[in-house]
Amino acid sequence: MIERKILFWNVGKVLDNNKLKLISTTLNKYSPNIVCIAEGSHSQNDCLKIEQELIVADFTKYYSPLLGKEKFGIQYISNGLKIFYKDCSITNDFDFYFQRQDGRIVKFELNNNGETISLIFLHNYSKNGDREYTTKQTILLSDLNQLLKNSKLDTEESKVVLLGDFNLEPWDNLLRTPDLLDSYFLSKHLGWAEKKKKKESLLFNPITEKMIFDKSTQIGGTFFSQSLGWTLFDYPIYNRKTLKLNFKIITEISNEISFDSKNGSDCDDLINNNFDHLPILVTLNL
């Protein structure tokens, strides 16, 4: 069995040398094959710094906002994801056919001995401090739904993983609506059982059960706001009927840096290093 590790991290809008160092430290510690970075590319120079950090670590660029300008001659869009890979095979190079929402949704096809595993990275729009979802979030998930359908990834046989900052919690209606995403977040959820009987596509969000049963950390979510506290925004959603997946919320960056709150503090290291999201590491067993 082959393992493929996938790291997603929303590093926040501000990029500085300390953040770059911690990104590099995380790469060395966890050795991912595929990396997706959200934010941190407010300027073209910042985006270039992230690219250089990954390229020095022997990664190949799949997509970044700079690629659109370099290869396709389009305007630089700072909110685009940055995706890199190494020690794995891909089915296709990046194509704008697979891109949605100015680089907020990017499809990546992993080649596993001739079999395609579809990874869809995304960074949803923010709620802007509101408790309710926004129109922009609805539009993005509608586009995601269309991408799944067009790529025939909405079937029970599909091998697909969605990974990113959804800016929604697992129980939000937008993630449980048939015309949008229609995912489930509890194994014994009644809706899940009904869909299983009908042999429909089963997209499962494991983050809630992870938080319930994982006693190794004392975090309350994946995103921390000093005004609102913890929320669950960053996670994988996948077809667990066809894929075996494990994941962890990374809290230990180094011996000196911990994003956990084991000592009763609200993640001082997270805040002091200008982060608000925790990195997510997904391991696919192929």
Pairing of strands 229-231, 223-225: antiparallel
Q: Tell me the C-alpha distance between 7 and 16, whole Å.
A: 20
CA atoms within 13 A on the CB side of 275: 28
Span 267-278, pLDDT tens digits? 677 878 889 999
pLDDT at 16: 94
Mean pLDDT by 10 residues, the chain (286 residues): 94 94 95 97 96 96 88 84 95 75 89 91 84 86 92 89 96 89 80 61 86 79 86 94 91 79 62 89 93
pLDDT at 261: 59
Span 166-181, pLDDT tens digits? 999 999 989 988 889 8
Residues 232 and 208: beta-carbon distance below 8 Å: yes
Residue 231's nearest CA partner among 134, 148, 126 is 126
pLDDT at 58: 97
Q: Where are the domains of the chain?
A: 3-285
Residue 200's nearest CA partner among 161, 171, 245, 239 is 239
Q: Tell me the C-alpha distance between 211 and 234, whole Å.
A: 12
Token pair 């660029």 is at which residue?
Answer: 61
Residue 163 phi, psi dihedral angles, 5° rounding? -145, 130
pTM to 2 decimal places: 0.93
- Three-state SS string over 57-118 comes to CCCEEEECHHHHHHHHCCCCCCCCCEEEECCCEECCCCCHHHEEHHHCEEEEEEEECCEEEE
Residue 250 structure tokens: 């990374």
Among 1.20.140.10, 3.60.10.10, 3.40.50.720, 3.40.50.11900, what is the CATH number of 3-285? 3.60.10.10
Q: Tell me the C-alpha distance between 84 and 7, whole Å.
A: 10
pLDDT at 207: 94
H-type alpha helices, the chain: 17-30, 44-56, 65-72, 135-150, 190-198, 207-213, 268-272
